């Protein structure tokens, strides 16, 4: 199948909803409720502000802040100006943000100071800044917007990698469009659909919901950052029909009493972002909740396989079946497809596969290949496809740690740990955790006595909180390959077998 589309442009998605359903709810962020028409007007106001700042096609616009109605309006304004969105994690430290800023070289930083703890003024090169302030309430004319060009780049989204630096995945407008269209066909759409938005905007899972809303005409019920009481109340009172959750969120909601009887409008919960235990899935389903597992990547613009309801025919532990026209291939080390039922690397082809990595042509070439006119993404995840086409993700070829839906590069954490004067070597791994999916732990070789608390304090201003190891183990030497790479699987086994002592 050739994944290129004959459709090159579509009418503007938000404008389509503003004209056909002007008074329908578009977004409720807990303090602001906008219809599609009001969201369209707000986007136009931000277009005027960005244009006055000299922003035009191809310019990269960094955004930092927590999700809000104004942030959604900004995203639509950036798309309409044919600029490129660079969403940044507001929980990152100054050095982490500084690196992304220097890598992406944005023309402007737009921010919302609500809830921000990082001091943006301390990031020297971030001189071109614009705050999102309260927008005027008086009615304004709709700005003229171009058609949506499906081929151009819409977002540069950073994703953790196997090196100590993140990679910027380049996502086209069409990646989001076709992801929304085909996932809607797979899951079904309803005029009264309301998405519980509990994911961050720097995750592709959050961005995908933004565009599905205006493509499907569904409302967003935004409750971020995630707090279990707030999310539970929204599920119970706001007629939410769809929710995207990571296992940690679902775990906490169940502990606080979420069940089908008190969330009667729910028709599907998408559970992804990290490996979910079968105990968690079965516990939710026994509560009557319509939970389906899903698997996707930043490079595939979110989900590529998703379960179905009813799930009686679903294989145990499966992540779901491909969302047509996505194609899944399981290959061996030479890139040859293996028979159904055999393990191998997961390759993915389809219109939601990304364009490549920002300024990393060699990495892009290693991750994308073309065979018989099809572009294939090499996921470096290991899985198996059964005779009926259901995919089960077994493991990762890389050592990325996924904690509560957050991707963590162990190499990045190791490099920061080894910048401590008392740490000679460090090996960071993830170990299974029922609530978080994985916990981050570190094995270190030291030249002085050191405590866990001292290491946590040292890392606190250098790494985002979710990246900081929870437990530290002292080893005399780290196991390494002949080429000098830390054997993380050996470190993990040593820790789990209890053959090493933790630091006080």
In this predicted model, which residue has the larger pLDDT, 222 or 314? 222
In CATH terms, is domain 31-148 a member of 3.40.50.980?
Answer: yes
Is the model's pLDDT at 1 over the cut of 50?
no
Residue ranges of the domains in the chain? 31-148, 401-496
* Residue pLDDT, tens place only, 254-292: 999 999 899 999 999 999 876 677 778 889 999 999 999
pLDDT at 314: 82
C-alpha 397/C-alpha 346 separation (Å) is 10
**Per-residue pLDDT averaged across 132-147, rounded?**
76
Q: Classify 401-496 by CATH class.
A: alpha beta
414: which 2 tokens?
A: 């190791």
Q: Averaged over 438-458, what is the pLDDT?
A: 91
Angle at which helix 452-460 crosses helix 410-417, to 10 degrees, equals 110
pLDDT surpassing 60 at residue 3: no
Q: Cα separation of 365 and 377, whole Å?
A: 10
Q: What is the pLDDT of residues 75-84, one digit of tens each?
A: 999 999 999 9
What is the 8-class DSSP label of residue 59? -
Q: What is the pLDDT of residues 75-134, one digit of tens each?
A: 999 999 999 999 999 988 888 898 899 999 999 999 998 888 888 877 656 657 888 876
Q: Which of 239, 249, 232, 237 is nearest to 195 (CA)?
A: 239
Alpha helices for 188-244 (secondary structure H) = 204-216, 228-237
Quick one: pLDDT at residue 488?
A: 85
Percent of the chain with pLDDT over 70: 93
> What pTM value is reported for the model?
0.84
Q: Check if the beta carbon of residue 291 is closer than 8 Å to that of residue 266.
A: no
Separation between Cα atoms, residue 486 and residue 488, nearest integer Å: 6
Spatial separation of the C-alpha atoms in residues 420 and 188, rounded to whole Å: 52
CA end-to-end span of the chain: 57
Residue 125 neighbours by CB under 8 Å, 6+ apart:
98, 101, 102
């Amino acid at each position: 199948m050739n994944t290129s589309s004959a459709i090159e442009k579509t009418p503007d998605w938000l404008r389509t909803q503003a004209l056909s359903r002007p008074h329908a709810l578009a977004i409720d962020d807990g303090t602001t409720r906008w219809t599609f028409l009001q969201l369209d007007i707000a986007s136009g106001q931000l277009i005027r502000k960005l244009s006055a700042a000299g922003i035009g096609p191809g310019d990269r616009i960094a955004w930092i802040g927590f999700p809000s109605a104004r942030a959604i309006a900004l995203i639509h304004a950036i798309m309409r100006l044919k600029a490129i969105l660079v969403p940044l994690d507001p929980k990152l430290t100054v050095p982490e943000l500084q690196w992304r800023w220097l890598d992406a070289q944005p023309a402007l930083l737009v921010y919302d100071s609500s809830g921000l703890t990082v001091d943006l003024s301390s990031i020297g090169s971030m001189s071109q800044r614009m705050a999102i302030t309260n927008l005027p309430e008086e009615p304004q004319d709709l700005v003229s917007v171009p058609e949506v060009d499906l081929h151009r780049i819409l977002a540069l989204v950073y994703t953790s990698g196997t090196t100590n630096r993140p990679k910027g995945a380049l996502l086209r407008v069409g990646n989001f469009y076709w992801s929304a269209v085909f996932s809607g066909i797979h899951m079904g759409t309803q005029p009264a659909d309301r998405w519980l938005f509990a994911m961050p905007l720097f995750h592709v899972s959050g961005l995908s919901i933004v565009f599905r809303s205006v493509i499907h005409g569904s409302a967003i019920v935004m409750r971020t950052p995630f707090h279990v009481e707030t999310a539970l109340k929204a599920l119970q009172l706001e007629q939410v029909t769809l929710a995207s959750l990571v296992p940690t969120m679902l775990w906490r909601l169940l502990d606080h009493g979420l069940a089908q009887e008190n969330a009667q409008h729910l028709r599907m919960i998408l559970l992804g972002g990290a490996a979910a235990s079968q105990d968690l899935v079965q516990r939710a389903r026994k509560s009557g909740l319509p939970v389906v597992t899903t698997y996707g990547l930043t490079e595939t613009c979110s989900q590529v396989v998703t379960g179905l309801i009813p799930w009686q025919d679903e294989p145990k532990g499966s992540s779901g079946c491909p969302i047509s026209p996505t194609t899944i291939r399981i290959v061996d080390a030479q890139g040859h497809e293996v028979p159904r039922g055999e393990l191998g690397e997961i390759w993915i082809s389809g219109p939601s596969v990304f364009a490549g990595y920002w300024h990393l042509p060699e990495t892009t070439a290693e991750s994308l290949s073309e065979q018989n006119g099809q572009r294939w993404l090499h996921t470096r995840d290991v899985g198996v496809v059964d005779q009926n086409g259901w995919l089960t993700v077994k493991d990762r070829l890389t050592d990325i740690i996924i904690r509560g839906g957050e991707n963590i590069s162990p190499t990045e954490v190791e490099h920061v740990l080894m910048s401590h004067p008392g740490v000679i070597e460090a090996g960071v791994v993830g170990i299974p955790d029922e609530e978080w999916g994985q916990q981050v732990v570190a094995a270190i070789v030291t030249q002085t006595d050191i405590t866990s608390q001292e290491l946590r304090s040292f890392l606190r201003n250098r790494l985002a909180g979710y990246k900081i190891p929870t437990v530290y183990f002292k080893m005399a030497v780290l196991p390494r390959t002949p080429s000098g790479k830390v054997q993380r699987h050996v470190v993990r086994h040593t820790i789990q077998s209890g053959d090493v002592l933790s630091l006080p």
